[in-house]
Amino acid sequence: MGPLYFMEKLWYVVHTYSGYENKVKANLEKRIESMNMEEKIFRILVPMEDEIEMKDGKKKISKRKIFPGYVLVEMFMTDDSWYVVRNTPGVTGFVGSGSKPIPLDEGEARQIIRQLGGEEIRTRVNFSMGENVRVISGPFENFIGAIDDINVEKAKIRVIISMFGRETPIELDFTQVEKIS
C-alpha cells in the first residue's frame, strides 16, 4: 500500500467568493479529473435546502445555500491535494487556524450530511466493549461508565453508569463520549 493507507478521509470547509459556490464545485471536479486526484479528493458539497415561499398565492420552492460562501470537500489532506483545492478559481482558502486547514468534527460532518438527506458518513469505531469512557455532553456529562453495546449503523453506544447506587444503561451518540486515557 502507498502512503494513502495511513491517511484519514476527512471533510474540510473551503471558503469561496460569495455566489461562486457552484462554480467552485464544478471547477474543482474538473481539476480533480484533469490532475488525477480521484484517490485523494472525493466528494464536494454545496449544502442546500428547499425554501418555500408564497408568491401571488402560489407556493414556490427554491434552493437556498445553507452556508453561503462555503463548500465542503471530502479529502485526504496532502501537500498536492491542498494545492489543487487551494488554487481552484473562486477559492479564497481553507477554514482553519493560520495556514493549517482544520477538518470538520466527525459528528458535525455526519449531521450536515444527514440534514442534506445524503448518505451517512461511515464511522470508524475506536471503542471496544467493556472499555471505560467519559460522557462529554448531554445530561450525563462527566459520568464515567463501561461500554455495554456498540451500534455502528446508528453511531450509538450504550454505556452502563452508576447512578443512585445502581447500574443504569444510557444510550449516547459516539460524539458524546471520549476514551479515558
Per-residue pLDDT of the chain (181 residues; tens, 9 = 90+): 334 444 678 999 999 999 999 999 999 999 999 999 999 999 999 988 777 666 676 777 777 888 899 999 999 999 999 999 999 999 999 998 777 899 998 888 888 877 776 544 444 457 788 999 999 888 899 999 999 998 876 778 899 999 888 999 999 887 788 888 6
- The C-alpha cell 414556490 sits at 60
State whether 111 and 139 are in the same domain.
Answer: no
When divided into structural domains, the chain yields a total of 2
State whether 166 and 83 are in the same domain.
Answer: no
Query: Backbone dihedral region of 93: left (phi > 0), alpha (psi from -120 to 50 degrees) or beta?
Result: left
Q: Which domain holds residue 89?
A: 3-115
pTM: 0.59
The cell numbers describing 166, all together, are 445502581
Residue 78's Cα: distance from chain center in Å?
18
- Cβ pair 2, 40 in contact under 8 A: no
